Amino acid sequence: QVQLVESGGGLVQAGGSLSLSCSVSGRTFSSYYMDWFRQAPGKGREFVAVISWSYGNAWYADSVKGRFTISRDKAKNTVSLQMNRLKPEDTAVYYCAASTNGALRAPSGMDYWGKGTLVTVSS
């Protein structure tokens, strides 16, 4: 059983930066993959980034590669998403997710979800 709680969303100007945090709790999540997804108004939920909790290996969607950085802090039980050079099209509700599946980076492959935090990028 894993519980996820996101924080850090808000309003930011285009070109600016914002950092999101996901608090992770549970007795057996050391072998999990931790993901960030996002859902813009009127669109489906899409993959943003993933990191393995144990080894810290990371992979990003092409749309955010070079601008976003995912990381995890084992001591604090948190997963972060540092977002730089934000664009209006980054506006979405951002969700933290966890799974044991290292291959399927899609909503159907996730085992646990947070409730999301809203990021709004103004032009």
pLDDT digit string (tens) for 23-72? 999 876 778 999 999 999 999 999 999 999 999 999 999 999 999 999 99
Q: Are 83 and 19 in contact (CB under 8 A)?
A: yes
pLDDT of res. 28: 66
Distance (Å, whole) CA 35 – CA 14: 24
Q: Are 54 and 30 in contact (CB under 8 A)?
A: yes
Distance (Å, whole) CA 81 – CA 102: 19
Q: Are 78 and 72 in contact (CB under 8 A)?
A: yes
